[in-house]
Amino acid sequence: MGTPSIAFVCASNNPQILRENLLRSPAIESGQYPLEVVENAPSAAQAYNTGLDRTEADVVVFLHHDVYLPLGWDALLRERIAQVAATDPDWALLGAFGVAMDTRNYGPVWSSSINFIAGLMPMDPVPVQSFDELLIVMRRDAGLRFDEGLAGWHMYGTDIVCQARAKGLGAYSVALPLIHNDGYKETLDSHFEAAFRYMARKWRAMLPIKTPVIKITASARDLYKWRWRMWLWRKERRALAAPDARDPRDYARACGWMDLRPSLSDHAAERVSDKNTS
């Protein structure tokens, strides 16, 4: 594909969160990439399909408004794309955090809701069964679209992976460090239960499917057990979260992630940046 063009798509219902997180990302702030913000959409799937249609880039990055991409993140993405394309030129999806086929979580992302860096380090691209929705990278020519039958804002990261797998296309977790300034959430809305049932029906042949949040099975009992556990552990979960929404750059600094630009001594990185400037 040569050097792919890249665009960003974000669904946002809160200009302040958008301004204080995603828009502070150097790659976005610089204006060197198209950013399509879809505001107040009824569902993630509708927002993202709208964004997909409004952009033309080879590669589209769908991401949350409460995500901060440190300096050099875009160069790192180009490197990850090249790594995946080297073994799977028809790849469909990359994610910053996903659940591998063995149910282990991969992807170094810092989340303020849990106050730690979640995910194992993928040394090579790791095939996944689901993605966290915080950031999903799609190769346009894979021909995927988000399923608008999925109401609300849940499990679209799992559905899109299932779609790729059903078409025999690769979906991988790769190392793309970032800050998710998501804060603590007490409960999930009613769309969550509907999404669980919708996914269990739609992907019956693939069950069980482990998402970053829950294991999808054919039994609604698993959903109720999970909800009960969430309620039991609510105090612990609240205590774990970082105290308040802060400048994501403070968190990036704490993680040592203020500058992700590939080192100049790295020959592969030099080739990538040569291509970018030519």
Our CB check for Mn ion shows the closer of 66 and 74 to be 66
Query: Which of 182, 198, 203, 223: binder of Mn ion (CB under 5 A)?
Result: 182
Q: Shortest distance, CB of residue 132 to Mn ion, whole angstroms?
A: 9
Q: Pick the piece of the chain touching Mn ion (CB under 5 A) from 3-11, 60-68, 72-80, 162-170.
A: 60-68
Q: Which residue has the tokens 């502070």?
A: 24
User: What contacts 98, CB < 8 A, 6 or more positions away?
Assistant: 105, 106, 107, 126, 128, 129, 130, 131, 132, 157, 161, 171, 172, 173, 212
Q: Which residue has the tokens 């302040």?
A: 16
Report which DSSP code applies to 135.
E
CA distance 278 to 263: 19
Structure tokens at 72: 């050099």
Structure tokens at 13: 């219902």
Q: Closest residue (Cβ) to Mn ion?
A: 64
When asked if residue 159 is in the footprint of Mn ion (CB under 5 A), the reply is no
Our CB check for Mn ion shows the closer of 66 and 159 to be 66
Q: Which residue has the tokens 């999970």?
A: 226
Site size with Mn ion, rule: CB under 5 A? 3
* Chain residues 65-84 in contact with Mn ion, contact rule CB under 5 A: 66
Q: Shortest distance, CB of residue 274 to Mn ion, whole angstroms?
A: 35
The kind and range of the H/E element at 82 are helix 73-87
Which of 65, 58, 62 lies closest to 49 in space, CA to CA? 62
When asked if residue 64 is in the footprint of Mn ion (CB under 5 A), the reply is yes
Which of 69, 222, 224 lies closest to 135 in space, CA to CA? 69
Our CB check for Mn ion shows the closer of 91 and 97 to be 97
Our CB check for Mn ion shows the closer of 36 and 182 to be 182
Q: Pick the piece of the chain touching Mn ion (CB under 5 A) from 81-89, 90-98, 166-174, 182-190.
A: 182-190
Our CB check for Mn ion shows the closer of 34 and 183 to be 183
Report which DSSP code applies to 250.
H
When asked if residue 210 is in the footprint of Mn ion (CB under 5 A), the reply is no
Give me the residues that bind Mn ion (CB under 5 A), please.
Answer: 64, 66, 182
